[in-house]
Chain A
Amino acid sequence: MPADETPRTASPWSGMRYVLPLGAFLVLAVLLGIGLGLNPREVPSPLIGKTAPHFELPQLLRADEKFSEKDMRGKVWMLNVWASWCVACREEHPVLVALSKSGVIPIVGLNYKDKREDGTAWLARFGDPYLLSAYDEQGKVGIDYGVYGVPETYVIDKQGVIRYKRIGIVTPDIVKSKILPLVDELNREK
């Protein structure tokens, strides 16, 4: 464009034409940035604050004995869904063993869609942090608990209400920042 062109009368928008796209870009960048930080696998569970769904299953190690969530009434406890085919469970396992040893909270396992001998062997090999494991061969109890990615962990209060759910591995950080304070609080409840 020739330099000697008479300048057009500046509309109030002439400055905005640069500011607006920049602003739009920044907003979009921030939104996408937040989106990147979210984990789409962490679907908020509608079960929090609700009574833990009822089930009765045979135990993994003692097939002739049953376990029901009702057996834990009056206790604050943890339900951990695991399977021998679940690689992430192996990573989580030492954390559960340590938590179990500390005696802060009883952990019940839900052995999910596993073979009995595989689950048994897995516990023998890596150690058994569980009070007991219920054996959900067909995964039906898993469906009732909204399980879709093993491992999943629930903290259930004395009234049998689900108070916390973790989808994925329980890390030492989560134990420290979420589970221990919650257990403390729940133990004080009646």
Chain B
Amino acid sequence: MKNKLIVAAMLFSTAMPVLASEAQPAAADVALEKRVTALSEELRCLVCQNQTIADSPAPLAIDLKNQVREKLGAGMSEREIIDYMVARYGDFVLYRPPVKATTVLLWFGPPLLLLLGLGLFVRTVLQRRQTAAPLNAAEQARVQALLEVGDKERP
């Protein structure tokens, strides 16, 4: 029994690299490769953090992409693979992190700042318009005087 197990383990361990190398060629299965690429573009490379694993040439990104290919090939769904990655690397691995308590600021901070900026802008413009409109008597007289000076100086 024990011998059989060992033989099985040895067969399995030699089969693994073969499986892995079979998954390598990019053009082998166009439909699968499309799904691999699409999913890889959703996943962040943790080594070069501003790249997806589809873009990154880092060895870990290549490993993860192979992992994606292997799992899609084995019939796992996109959702399941994303869960698999999140369980290991956390939400950080997602290029589109889920909306939850810790990511609220990430999601709504920028629009909030934009609204704040727009609000301030509108307010300033309105205020300027208000303060620019009416002139008091003294100002009126000064404007008149300046206009007259200008008239006299004109050749």
Contact = CB atoms under 8 A, between A and B. Distances in A.
A113 B136 CA distance: 81
A43 B92 CA distance: 7
Given A143-B64, A143-B67, A138 B88 contact: no
18 contacts: A6-B136, A8-B131, A13-B127, A20-B120, A40-B49, A43-B92, A44-B90, A45-B90, A46-B87, A46-B89, A46-B91, A113-B59, A139-B59, A139-B63, A146-B88, A148-B46, A148-B60, A149-B46
A148 to B, nearest CB: 4
Interface of A: 6, 8, 11, 13, 20, 40-41, 43-47, 113, 138-139, 143-146, 148-149
Contact of B131 (A11, A47, A139): A11
A149 B138 CA distance: 73
Interface residues of B, number: 22
B86 interface: yes
A40 B127 CA distance: 43
A139 B58 CA distance: 13
Q: Is the interface of A mostly helix, strand, loop or mixed?
A: loop
B22 interface: no
B127 A47 contact: no
A144 B88 contact: yes
Nearest to B135: A6
Contacts of B60: 139, 148
A41 B60 CA distance: 14
Interface string B60-104: 100110010000000000000000001111111000000000000
A148 B131 contact: no
A114 to B, nearest CB: 12
A8 B2 CA distance: 97
B145 interface: no
A138 B20 contact: yes
Contacts of B153: none
Q: 8 closest Cβ contacts across the A-B interface?
A: A148-B46, A146-B88, A46-B90, A43-B92, A146-B89, A6-B138, A148-B60, A139-B63
Contacts of B127: 11, 13
A138 B19 CA distance: 13
Nearest to B13: A58
B151 interface: no
Nearest to A41: B49
